[in-house]
């Protein structure tokens, strides 16, 4: 399917995708099951309590209520009669327990109301504005109650919920019946329909129904692997990551895999049109090859010349994990802007500068963590601690023993757990401690776009990078719909970038090609 055009229809699960009710469901399930289990035995015969993470996702999430009760009880080796839907909330039957859970859930909704995911509301509005029909589906018989409480009932062209399961004789997830019924109500072919699900059973339903795209929505850390194993075509944490882009080449699906930037340079230039590029670039692994010792990563004269030429026609910024002063001294081009320490420290021409305020307050914690890390790491051959102003990097590229690498990571984790205001990030042969604030390369890019007066109408933003931390920038651009992300590395890598380049040589060739075509286009329109 051509990803440049919108899907004809989108079907979204309610709990956990649109509304923040998954946690309410989980608490209701836990309260009901824990009360039930506590009454069944004591001492050694007592069952462990319901786990709101693993038990919820494995046994009840996304399933019709009674099926969820049965699934969990079977996992615990507990047999109960099915009963009937009229069973009281105190009846020890599958239906009775399900009714008790529903009673608890409704109480909580009435007391606290319903929160929504703003990215879901934005994406639904975006789809509807672009002619895409949107349906909501849920195994819950409380679907209408929840949507009304969230003031979302009028957002959808169709709704298929728990009330329809019995009335229309539909099977619940992981069977595809509800999704197929929603697509039928939208008058949409499943092949032209995108499904968004946060539950394993819902992903399985989307795949078994042969829908064109099944997107796993990972709202919680650790959910990605389960959704991927269930068959999700791709995983997102924010629904705005799946917006359409005019830069996706014909016949390609940029949500599933990046395309070659080298092969599609002409297409990219055509998409730019009369707008001017704004070029943001990582340093290590992008402008220079990855080397064993970071101090040996010198910028080649050919690449420096390319940057000089780009700076004559566009805003150019280097966004690096290195200290700002370090990368600035390596590039030696004062006309560029530099964002160091993954964007915590920014400086550029005409007095442009910024240091992230919350990160400044974390400097004492970094100082203490540095002292502790040096004591531990100094004894491991090949390991090296590099202090940057706003980060501490522990390099293990030259560490040959896997046991030593595990020891390094264990030590880093222990220090982070004791430290306040710090977090651990991982990269290529590196662990890094950073201030634990909501800031990364993506935030830095968006700050620079505003500070450099880069506009949607007049400019197209490019970001080229090779590492895990560069995914933050790709994610920010995709969510904002503001430009082109290019990942340096294998085309098979999991990335949010639209395009890929295999290595630094291809980066240089692409920048030269794009610059030449940009000049030609500029000249022809002059």
Just list the catalytic residues.
Answer: 13, 15
Based on its alpha-carbon atoms, the radius of gyration of the chain, rounded to whole angstroms, reads 26
Give the three-state DSSP class for 4. coil
For residues 224 and 249, is the Cβ–Cβ distance under 8 A?
A: no
Q: In what order do the strands lie in the sheet with 9-13?
A: 158-160, 133-137, 9-13, 193-197, 213-217, 234-236
Give the three-state DSSP class for 215. strand
H or E element, residue 464: strand 459-465
Q: Indicate the pairing of strand 391-395 with strand 384-388.
A: antiparallel
- 3-class SS letters over 92-157: CCHHHHHHHHHHHHHHHHHHHCCCECHHHHHHHHHHHHCCCEEEEECCCCCHHHHHHHCCCHHHCC
CA dihedral sign of residues 26, 27, 30, 31: negative
Residue for token digits 């062209």?
157
Query: For the chain, what percentages of helix, strand and coil (3-state, to nearest 5) are there?
Result: 45, 15, 40
Enumerate helices (H) and strands (E) in the chain, giving the number of each: 19, 19
Q: Which parts of 155-223 fold into alpha helices (H)?
A: 162-167, 177-185, 200-208
- Nearest C-alpha neighbor of 93 from the set 63, 65, 59, 69: 69
H or E element, residue 445: helix 441-451
Calculate the dihedral angle through the C-alpha atoms of 295, 300, 305, 308, rounding to the nearest 10 degrees.
Answer: -10
Question: Can you name the residues that pair with 488 across neighbouring β-strands?
Answer: 501
How far apart, in whole angstroms, are the C-alpha atoms of residue 241 and residue 1?
18
How far apart, in whole angstroms, are the C-alpha atoms of residue 364 and residue 145?
50
C-alpha 458: how far from chain center: 28
For residues 32 and 96, is the Cβ–Cβ distance under 8 A?
A: no
């Amino acid at each position: 399917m051509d990803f440049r055009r919108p899907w004809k229809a989108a079907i979204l699960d309610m709990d956990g995708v649109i509304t923040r009710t998954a946690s309410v469901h989980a608490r209701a399930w836990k309260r009901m099951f824990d009360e039930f289990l506590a009454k069944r035995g004591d001492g050694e015969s007592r069952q462990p309590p319901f786990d709101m993470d693993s038990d919820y996702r494995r046994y009840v999430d996304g399933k019709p209520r009674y099926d969820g009760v049965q699934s969990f009880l079977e996992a615990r080796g507990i047999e109960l009669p099915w009963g009937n839907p009229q069973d009281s909330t105190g009846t020890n039957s599958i239906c009775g327990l399900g009714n008790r859970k529903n009673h608890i859930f409704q109480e909580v909704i009435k007391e606290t109301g319903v929160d929504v995911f703003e990215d879901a509301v934005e994406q639904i509005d975006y789809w509807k504005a672009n002619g895409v029909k949107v349906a909501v589906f849920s195994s819950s018989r409380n679907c209408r109650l929840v949507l009304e409480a969230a003031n979302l009932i009028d957002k959808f062209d169709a709704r298929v919920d728990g009330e329809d399961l019995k009335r229309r004789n539909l099977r619940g997830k992981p069977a595809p019946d509800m999704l197929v019924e929603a697509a039928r109500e939208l008058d949409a072919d499943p092949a032209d329909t995108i499904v968004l699900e946060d539950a394993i059973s819902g992903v399985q339903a989307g795949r078994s129904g042969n829908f064109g795209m099944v997107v796993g929505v990972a709202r919680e850390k650790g959910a990605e692997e389960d959704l991927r194993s269930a068959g999700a075509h791709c995983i997102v944490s924010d629904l705005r990551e799946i917006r359409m882009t005019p830069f996706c080449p014909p016949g390609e699906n940029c949500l599933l895999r990046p395309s070659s930037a080298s092969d599609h340079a002409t297409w990219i230039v055509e998409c730019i049109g009369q707008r001017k590029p704004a070029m943001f670039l990582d340093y290590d692994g992008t402008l220079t090859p990855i080397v064993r010792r970071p101090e040996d990563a010198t910028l080649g004269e050919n690449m420096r010349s390319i940057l000089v030429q780009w700076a004559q026609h566009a805003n150019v910024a280097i966004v690096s994990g290195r200290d700002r002063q370090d990368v600035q001294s390596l590039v030696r081009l004062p006309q560029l802007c530099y964002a160091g320490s993954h964007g915590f420290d920014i400086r550029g021409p005409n007095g442009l500068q910024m240091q992230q305020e919350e990160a400044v307050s974390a400097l004492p914690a970094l100082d203490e963590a540095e002292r502790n890390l040096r004591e531990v790491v100094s004894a491991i051959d090949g390991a090296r601690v590099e202090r940057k102003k706003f980060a501490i990097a522990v390099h293990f590229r030259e560490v040959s023993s896997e046991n030593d690498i595990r020891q390094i990571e264990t030590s880093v984790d222990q220090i982070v757990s004791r430290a306040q205001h710090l977090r651990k990030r991982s990269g290529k042969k590196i662990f890094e401690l950073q201030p634990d604030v909501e800031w990364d390369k993506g935030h830095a890019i968006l700050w620079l776009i505003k500070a450099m007066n880069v506009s949607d109408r007049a400019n197209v933003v490019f970001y080229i990078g090779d590492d895990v931390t560069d995914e933050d920038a790709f994610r920010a651009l995709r969510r904002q719909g503001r430009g082109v992300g290019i990942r340096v590395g294998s085309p098979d890598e999991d990335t949010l970038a639209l395009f890929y380049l295999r290595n630094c040589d291809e980066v240089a060739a692409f920048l030269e090609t794009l610059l030449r075509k940009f000049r030609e286009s500029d000249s022809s329109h002059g």
